Amino acid sequence: MTTTVPAPVVRRVADVTPHFIGDNRTVKLAVLAGPADGSTTTTVFEIWEPGGAQPDNSHEDSAETFVVLQGTARAHSDDHVVDLTAGDVLVLPTGSVHHIVNTSATDRLYTLTVMASDGGFAELIETGPVAAFDEADLAVLGRVG
């Protein structure tokens, strides 16, 4: 019996669409890879507007890892608060109640976010209102991709 291995998936920046989650228009999220690509791990490019924040959220089945590409932030996780800057890696434990705030009044915050077990996160993002990348976003994403 021969097993067929699927071909690798390559996504181009032009094929990635950012979205907002619900009514929050201060954070754009773009799924770079996830279940639709055959992966249980989801990788997201996130963009916080100056002063932007997510609401408190939690993921019962996955730790969440943020790689700060550009900008400054303050991460709140349960009773813990940490400041972040470009080059930092933040790992939020499974089940933690957390949110991140862009602490800059003038500059965007950019992260790559990885969830080991998607738990519906990619679908939540991709069913939200469509957003758009601008030249600044594409310049950061182009350095990543």
Which tens digits make up the pLDDT trace of 10-25? 988 888 999 999 888 9
- Write the CA distances from 7 to 13, 31, 41, 57, 126, integer angstroms: 19, 19, 17, 34, 23
| Inter-residue contact 31 to 126 (CB < 8 Å) | yes
Per-residue tokens: 131: 């957003």
- Per-residue confidence at 118, pLDDT binned at 50, 70, 90? confident
What pLDDT, on a 0 to 100 scale, did the predictor assign at position 135? Answer: 92
- Integer Cα distance of 139 and 136 in angstroms: 5
Q: Which two tokens stand for residue 42?
A: 């989801």
Reduced to 3 states (helix: H, G, I; strand: E, B; else coil), residue 11 is coil
Tokens linked to 85: 């800057």
What pLDDT is stored for residue 20 in this prediction? 97
Domain boundaries, the chain: 17-118
pLDDT of residue 123: 94
Q: Provide the whole-model pTM.
A: 0.92
Q: Which among 8, 63, 45 is positioned nearest to 125, based on CA atoms?
A: 45
- As its CATH architecture, domain 17-118 has Sandwich (2.60)
DSSP structural state of residue 14:
G
pLDDT band at 144 (very low <50, low <70, confident <90, very high): low
